[in-house]
Chain A
Amino acid sequence: MDWSVMWSNRDLYGAGLWATVELSVAAIATCTLLGLVIAAIRTSRIPVLAQLARCYLEVFRGTPLLVQMLFIYFGAVYLNIGNITVFGAALLALTLFQGAYVAEIFRAGIEAVPHGQWEASRVLGLTRAQTFRSVILPQTRSIVLPRWSASTSRSSRTPRSPSSSATPNCSARARPSWTGWDTPARRTWRSPSCTSSSVPRCRSSSGGWRERP
């Protein structure tokens, strides 16, 4: 293929890549935060909230990311809610989608901690919140971190799914670069864009997250 085409458009690629990095970092932060909160609620026995958290998980784990993105973007545009940017819609969709997976990872970690840890803390006088923060959460690290980094990098494959002509939408500034491109070049660029993969993948391959005890 003709690589000079890519080189002559390096500014556009640069802008697209930058938007992707921004989106990735933002989405990792927000989905982790959301996942943690949802997992905490889901594993609590607070009646209504725990049910709501469960519904959220069912819905967002059951539908493809692309569908959610389109739904949120066009839904917002159609209903004229605020003036949602493509970036905003992508971030929201990624957060909600990936947050559901991260929540399940945190939940698995929380439920792997023996119940005796809760009981010992309770008799000592710690509140549930104190126990969660100081006793339970630190013990979930060995389970959560490897799965967390695997999950955030796995999300890169999800939006790449069949003939996603809408994928370029994920990065507004990168959009012009896709028009009129031959297919191989599009493939090359499609995978890193629209994902939250780049950052955690780098970190996990360097071992920085995995080797924490």
Chain B
Amino acid sequence: MITKSPTERTPATTAQVALSGVHKRFGELEVLKGIDIEVGAGEVVVLIGASGSGKSTLLRIMCDLERADRGEVWVNGVPLHDRKRAPEIFGHVGMVFQQFNLFPHHTALGNVTLALRKVRKTGRKEADERGREALARVGLAEKAAAYPAQLSGGQQQRVAIARALAMDPAIMFFDEPTSALDPELVGEVTGVMRSLADEGMTMVVVTHEMRFARDTADRVVFMDGGVVLEQGTPERVFGSPTEARTQQFLQRVLDT
């Protein structure tokens, strides 16, 4: 699929994330039909769109859990469309999943320090220190010894965020981080995400929390049927959407 030698080239922009002409299909189903997107350093981009519109697939391509069929994907200076160089991205971006995906057989601190110790080869003492700092950033310093099963959903998701933060990631990706949570636990997770945004973290967030998008996003991207239909500041997209599909979608999610 890649015609010109990708290793020879550098991204056209200084953006942290730059996708151009990204296509992806699963069998017969064409999920992404030519996506162009850029995310600058420190920018917070929120992806919205109906279920099945390709948001998760796009996010997974950005952290190399899926590979694009066509197009270029630059993330943190790594060309993910180059099979050989793509693995360089691992350990340098953070991913937060809807289902947390914590390691159930490790304590909160164990979860947060595992990659430091195995990937970065950090000594136990230093890893524990950095792990505790990461847990403190998500307000869970006192839960270091707890196992995931002993924590609430909101706390588990915050541990998952701390686990990603401990690796000092250049970019954080979130795929519906609050969708598996009881409504009363959503606030503690979006609160942590907001403080990350305030600290200048580059973030790409898929969420149905429109309040979070309105308050925190620098840019809202509306996806529909595998393409970016509309994007702009939250005020612009929520206040005066130009596309009929966007209006319909917003009406649906804001009503419920």
Contacts and interface: CB of A to CB of B under 8 A. Distances in A.
Contacts of B167: 124-125
A121 B167 CA distance: 12
Contacts of B103: 117, 120, 135, 139
Interface string B117-145: 01100000000000000000000000000
A119 B65 contact: yes
Chain B interface mostly: loop
Contact of A124 (B90, B99, B104, B105): B90
Contacts of B164: 123-124
Interface size class of B (residues with CB under 8 A): 20 to 34
Contact of B101 (A117, A125, A130): A117
B105 A123 contact: no
Nearest to B115: A124
B105 A126 contact: no
Contacts of A116: 97, 99, 101
Interface residues of A, number: 16
Nearest to B167: A124
Nearest to A142: B105
B90 A123 contact: yes
A139 B91 CA distance: 23
16 contacts: A114-B99, A116-B99, A119-B97, A120-B102, A120-B103, A120-B160, A120-B163, A122-B65, A123-B63, A124-B163, A124-B164, A126-B114, A126-B118, A130-B119, A135-B103, A138-B105
Task: List the 6 closest pairs (A to B, CB-CB), nearest first.
Answer: A125-B91, A124-B115, A116-B101, A120-B101, A125-B119, A125-B90
Given A117-B103, A122-B65, A124-B119, 18 more contacts: A116-B97, A116-B101, A119-B65, A120-B95, A120-B97, A120-B102, A121-B115, A123-B94, A123-B95, A123-B164, A124-B90, A124-B91, A124-B164, A125-B90, A125-B119, A126-B114, A134-B114, A139-B103
